[in-house]
């Protein structure tokens, strides 16, 4: 919609970058506040959040480049233009998860407890961050005649111009905000550590799988025009999330007996 927020001489401020930064600092603030409430060291959570940010950006960019490598063969320098869009959430999620595990083991923290602290922050960060995708025009939807279709007209946008498209960025953003609300409610009734984290991954996998159906951008397919890379990842993630919720709940019940 409006990829460029404003220009000051030679300096260009991109809406995408501003919203990604907003998502990070909002998530960081919420995570530090919850850590303090649960007796965890807020500074460690803030340090971990910084490592998560870096690893998530690198991981999500790497997966996008692997999937869409043809875009970068002729112009490799585009790899570093993150502000143009081109991040795959699951790539960032996988790399950030690995970093979290390493950090938590090093500092002898409770893995699932920290996961529960961070999960709502990731969800709201996703909700705000996807708004950045909407303004940049990346991750756009298929052509449609639904009444809520959007039309991109800014020549700087990454989406096709002057056609009616599904606002898939907003669908994914709504998915994040809905998960955030669910996790806040669930936190009041939490029964075991890891419940919020695995609930997040479970619901996100379902929502992302559905949103992918309406995507129209080139993003890579495991089965051409049928199963995208993100949908392929969502299937085992859903299964693992469900299995972990059952396992952790059972372990908690056994500890009580």
- What is the secondary structure of 90-134 as a DSSP string? HHHHHHHHHHHHHHHHHHT--HHHHHHHHHHHHHHHHHHHHHHHH
pLDDT at 196 over 80: yes
* Residues whose CB falls within 8 Å of the CB of residue 249, separated by 6 or more in sequence, listed in order: 191, 192, 195
Comparing 32-41, 73-82, 185-194, which segment has the lowest mean pLDDT? Answer: 73-82
pLDDT at 114 over 60: yes
Helix (H) or strand (E) holding 56: helix 42-67
Residue 80 is predicted with a pLDDT of: 64
- Burial environment of residue 255 by CB neighbours within 10 A (0 to 12, 13 to 18, 19 or more): exposed
pLDDT band at residue 250, thresholds of 50, 70 and 90?
A: very high
Residues 122, 179 contacting (CB under 8 angstroms) = no
Question: What would the mean pLDDT of 12-26 be, rounded to a whole number?
Answer: 88
Residue 78 is predicted with a pLDDT of: 64
pLDDT at 90 over 90: no
* pLDDT higher at 60 or 141: 141
Around Cβ 175, how many Cβ atoms within 10 Å? 21
Beta bridge partners of 164: 151
Question: What would the mean pLDDT of 19-40 be, rounded to a whole number?
Answer: 91
Structure tokens at 45: 């959570």
Residue 125 is predicted with a pLDDT of: 92
Residues 207, 241 contacting (CB under 8 angstroms) = no
Q: Which CA distances in Å does 49 have to 44, 155, 228, 233?
A: 8, 35, 29, 24
Give the separation between CA 79 and CA 22, rounded to whole angstroms. Answer: 23
Residue 66 is predicted with a pLDDT of: 76
Residues 141, 167 contacting (CB under 8 angstroms) = yes
Residue 86 is predicted with a pLDDT of: 61
pLDDT band at residue 13, thresholds of 50, 70 and 90?
A: confident
Closest CA to 53 of 20, 102, 90, 18: 20
Alpha helices for 137-228 (secondary structure H): 168-187, 195-213
Residues 169, 139 contacting (CB under 8 angstroms) = yes
Residues 185, 112 contacting (CB under 8 angstroms) = no
Q: How many structural domains comprise the chain?
A: 1
* pLDDT higher at 225 or 129: 129
Q: What is the pTM of this model?
A: 0.85
pLDDT at 88 over 80: no
Tell me the torsion sign for CA atoms 23, 26, 32, 33. negative
pLDDT in tens, 139-184: 899 999 999 999 999 998 989 999 999 999 999 999 999 999 999 9
pLDDT band at residue 85, thresholds of 50, 70 and 90?
A: low
Residue 84 is predicted with a pLDDT of: 56
Share above pLDDT 70 across residues of the chain, in percent, rounded to a whole number: 92
pLDDT at 36 over 90: yes
Give the separation between CA 169 and CA 212, rounded to whole angstroms. Answer: 10
Domain that includes residue 134, residue range: 4-256
* pLDDT higher at 74 or 234: 234
Question: Across 3-12, 89-98, 220-229, 234-243, which has the greatest mean pLDDT?
Answer: 234-243
Question: What would the mean pLDDT of 98-119 be, rounded to a whole number?
Answer: 92
């Amino acid at each position: 919609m409006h990829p460029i927020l404003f220009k000051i001489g030679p300096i260009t401020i991109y809406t995408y970058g501003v919203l990604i930064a907003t998502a990070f600092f909002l998530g960081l603030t919420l995570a530090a506040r919850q850590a303090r409430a649960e007796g965890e060291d807020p500074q460690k959570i803030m340090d971990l959040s910084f490592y998560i940010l870096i690893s998530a950006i690198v991981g999500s960019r790497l997966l996008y480049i692997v999937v869409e490598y043809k875009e970068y063969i002729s112009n490799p320098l585009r790899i570093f233009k993150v502000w143009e869009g081109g991040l795959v959430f699951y790539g960032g999620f996988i790399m950030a998860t690995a970093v979290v595990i390493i950090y938590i083991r090093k500092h002898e923290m409770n893995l699932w407890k920290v996961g529960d602290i961070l999960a709502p922050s990731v969800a709201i960060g996703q909700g705000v961050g996807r708004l950045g995708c909407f303004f940049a025009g990346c991750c756009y939807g298929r052509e449609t005649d639904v009444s809520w279709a959007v039309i991109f007209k800014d020549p700087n946008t990454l989406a096709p111009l002057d056609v009616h498209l599904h606002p898939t960025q907003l669908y994914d953003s709504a998915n994040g905000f809905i998960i955030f609300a669910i996790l806040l409610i669930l936190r009041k009734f939490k029964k075991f550590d890891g419940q919020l984290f695995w609930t997040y991954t479970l619901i996100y996998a379902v929502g992302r799988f559905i949103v992918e159906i309406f995507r129209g951008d080139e993003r890579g397919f495991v089965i051409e025009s049928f199963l995208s890379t993100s949908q392929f990842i969502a299937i085992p993630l859903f299964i693992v999330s469900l299995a972990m919720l059952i396992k952790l709940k059972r372990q908690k019940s056994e500890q009580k007996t």
